[in-house]
Structure 1
Amino acid sequence: MLGRPVVNSCSEKAACGHNSVMSRNSSINDNVTLSCPSESIDQFRNQVYSTVYSIITVFGLVGNGFALLVLIRTFRQRSAFHIYMLNLAVADLLCVCTLPLRVFYYINKGHWTLGDFLCRVSSYALYVNLYGSIFFMTAMSCTRFIAIVFPVQNLRLVNPRKACIVCICIWVFICSTSSPFLMSGEYVDKETKKTKCFEPPKGSGGQSKLKVLNYFSLVMGFILPFLIILICYAGIIRTLLMGSNGMNRRKTTNTKAIRMIVIVTLVFLVSFMPYHIQRTIHLHLLSRGDVSCEEQVYMQKSVVVTLCLAASNTCFDPLLYFFSGENFRNRLSTLRKASVNSSTLPRHSHKTIPQNVEDQDKLKCCNGPQDSLTTADSYTNPQE
């Protein structure tokens, strides 16, 4: 979402390059010279990043790989919500596959030896995933909102084909706005003689431009999507509470939906909000020119922590699939039964099943009034 100078100088780049903060401050105010010990922040950064990214890699690969397998194997049952989950899992896996490169960099004490191309791709993948996750979760929230609050219009407004168009638009927007990460790769630090990646070159200035780009990313990539999610969830909760006097089955479905909303909101707050708040504060501190040594160390460490939280969304997303409703668990059960039946049933004994959710809806409409109650209930309490 941000260009490379913005995120790099305000987020991981500031944390990875301990001298970058001091060099930027000196470029803003030549009269202020601060010398802070770099060993402590270097050790903290290398240990935390290498440890946390290793954990995220393991859980992210297992969780998203398994989710992607289930979603692909049950693609015949696809729906709009299924399309968004599939794209979110792909974005997570693309990011997780580049994290071992970061682990190697920090284990190697900030010395990059894997080439310029992988440096660019590693920086690019993390932020494509970061903002891609936000936009895909926003699309999932809007889909759930329409299905529950406007069940009659749901069939007209939401379908797999339109979901594919939305996903294409999201990918194009995220990939294009994050493309500046591909324009700047590795470089050799003149003082340490080390090849650097994920860190800004010293004295790279441009604070006014950084602020403008940061606020654009903050508003378009976080605040606006988060407001949309809050509005959608408020409408969903209101609709569910108004219909809370229905059958026990519906009460159970409502409870699960509200529980899912709480989990999604908490994940959004824990993973994305601290990073965006800290990045904005850090950028303002860089422009002051009178930052104390203690403030520098504190902000650099907070960058490390908040960026780890942001990257951890790749581990949280599989939980979203599981708690998004019964449908994902049903897909898993269907896949398991299909695997067993494929080894026991004759090849010629099979039933013709609907190709997707739209076909199921058409069959329900053709079945007559006896299915109307079930159909209406599925609209009001969608399983995905």
Structure 2
Amino acid sequence: MQNNSGMYQNGTEMENSVYALVFGSVISLGLPLNAVSLWILLRRHSLKSPSAVFMVNLAISDLLLVISLPTRVYFYATNKWPLGKMTCIWITMLFRNNIRSSSIFITFISLDRLLAVVYPLRSRHLRNSSNAWKAVSVIWMMVVVLNIPESVIFSRQLDKHNVSSCFRFSPPNLDDELSASDMAYVQLVLVVTMLVVNIVTTALVSWTLHRHVNDSAKINNKVNVMLIFAMNLMMFTAFFLPVSLGFKFYNLRPALNCLASVNCCLDPLLYYFSFDGFWKRKEDIVTCRRAVAGQDLMAYGQMALSTS
């Protein structure tokens, strides 16, 4: 029995070391990548573009996640939580908010790309910064509202367990488990819905670009366009969906949370491929307006993608 207990403790310590290492790596990569990306988006691209608005908020969401990770590194490195109940709740909510807000912002970026490619002229009245900021406000409001019942449920769970085991405690009793499952289903439905939207938009954009294969010379960033959609689908299947299914696999939650945190390191690639001239100044956007004047639909779609 002592040997089994020692093996279990050694296995747990090894898992904790892996989690601390992964979270630490996410901090070292995610913090500079997202900070630089946010600076470039604000400094060199106009926030009058809907894509830039969504990407700025995606970068903010990722930075909020990254700044919460040092506490997780400390917890898994020392197996202690000295910061109290409320800090544990806030850190947990920041992590869950990132999954939800990131999945929605990425979906809106896909929808914006769909409108730019498939309906470049008819969507001009929709693709503006005013509508983008309205959508962003609703997204953040919805994410924060979901925190209210979720925080109450999580607080009850912490009250029944040792708060020093913030990110890892025993499974809740039946009543708390049912309440937590309700919130988990909300997140799962949200992520699955966003995934379906991304699949549909990817198919429509791919079909549109294939249909205009003779005009492919006018869409120099065609590969970048499809890379954006491929990356979006990868984000959902590799990061958002597994962690959203985690409530069904309680013992895998720490590992799935660890995996999901990696998404914030890959979002800067989305920014890079979304802008044909990521390092160019926002004054270059005037080329998009010239394309509109020529009434060249595919050229405008290409310009809208590369500069918005």
Distance apart, 1:102 and its partner CA: 0.9
Q: Can you give the 5+ residue segments of structure 1 that lack an aligned partner in the other structure?
A: 1-34, 284-299, 336-352
- Describe the superposition over 1:274-319 as per-residue Cα deviations: whole angstroms up to 9, x where unpaired: 2233x15326xxxxxxxxxxxxxxxx2x333322121111111111
* Alignment equivalent of 1:160, drawn from 121, 129, 143: 129
Distance apart, 1:374 and its partner CA: 6.0
**Equivalent pair of 2:184/2:244 in contact (CA under 8 Å):** no
* Alignment equivalent of 2:272, drawn from 304, 316, 322: 322
- Describe the superposition over 1:226-245 as per-residue Cα deviations: whole angstroms up to 9, x where unpaired: 00011111100000000011
Once the two structures are superposed, the pairs formed by residues 355-370 of structure 1 within 5 Å of their partners are: 364=290
Give the number of the structure with larger relative contact order, counting CA–CA contacts within 8 Å between residues 6 or more apart: 1
2:228 paired with 1:260: yes
User: 2:6 & 2:181 partners in 1: Cα distance?
Assistant: 25
User: 1:68 & 1:194 partners in 2: Cα distance?
Assistant: 35
2:37 paired with 1:67: yes
* Alignment equivalent of 1:45, drawn from 9, 15, 30: 15
User: 1:187 & 1:360 partners in 2: Cα distance?
Assistant: 56
**Equivalent pair of 2:101/2:140 in contact (CA under 8 Å):** yes
- Describe the superposition over 1:308-354 as per-residue Cα deviations: whole angstroms up to 9, x where unpaired: 12111111111111122314x2xx2338xxxxxxxxxxxxxxxxx69
**Equivalent pair of 1:45/1:304 in contact (CA under 8 Å):** no
User: 2:12 & 2:159 partners in 1: Cα distance?
Assistant: 17
User: 1:50 & 1:377 partners in 2: Cα distance?
Assistant: 48
Taking a change above 3 Å as real, the CA distance of residues 169 and 255 of structure 1, as seen in their structure-2 partners, is same
User: 2:158 & 2:179 partners in 1: Cα distance?
Assistant: 22
User: 2:234 & 2:130 partners in 1: Cα distance?
Assistant: 30
User: 1:96 & 1:159 partners in 2: Cα distance?
Assistant: 30
Indicate the residue corresponding to 1:95 in structure 2: 65
Taking a change above 3 Å as real, the CA distance of residues 168 and 65 of structure 1, as seen in their structure-2 partners, is same
User: 1:259 & 1:173 partners in 2: Cα distance?
Assistant: 29
**Equivalent pair of 1:49/1:103 in contact (CA under 8 Å):** yes
Taking a change above 3 Å as real, the CA distance of residues 318 and 373 of structure 1, as seen in their structure-2 partners, is same
Once the two structures are superposed, the pairs formed by residues 205-354 of structure 1 within 5 Å of their partners are: 205-206=174-175, 207-219=177-189, 221-250=190-219, 252-277=220-245, 279-282=246-249, 300=251, 302-327=252-277, 329=278, 332-334=279-281
**Deviating 4+ runs (over 6 angstroms):** none
Q: Counterpart of 1:310 in structure 2: which amino acid?
A: A
* Alignment equivalent of 1:379, drawn from 298, 301, 308: 301
**Equivalent pair of 2:198/2:232 in contact (CA under 8 Å):** no
Distance apart, 1:216 and its partner CA: 2.5
**Equivalent pair of 2:168/2:254 in contact (CA under 8 Å):** no
Q: Counterpart of 2:59 in structure 1: which amino acid?
A: A
SS in structure 1 at match of 2:51: helix
* Alignment equivalent of 2:144, drawn from 171, 175, 188: 175
Distance apart, 1:134 and its partner CA: 0.2
TM-score normalized by the length of structure 1: 0.70
2:45 paired with 1:78: no
Q: Can you give the 5+ residue segments of structure 2 that lack an aligned partner in the other structure?
A: none
TM-score normalized by the length of structure 2: 0.86
**Equivalent pair of 1:124/1:179 in contact (CA under 8 Å):** no
User: 1:215 & 1:116 partners in 2: Cα distance?
Assistant: 25
User: 2:218 & 2:290 partners in 1: Cα distance?
Assistant: 20
Indicate the residue corresponding to 2:25 in structure 1: 55
Indicate the residue corresponding to 1:126 in structure 2: 95
Q: Counterpart of 1:120 in structure 2: which amino acid?
A: I
Distance apart, 1:180 and its partner CA: 3.7
Q: Counterpart of 1:99 in structure 2: which amino acid?
A: L
Distance apart, 1:270 and its partner CA: 1.4
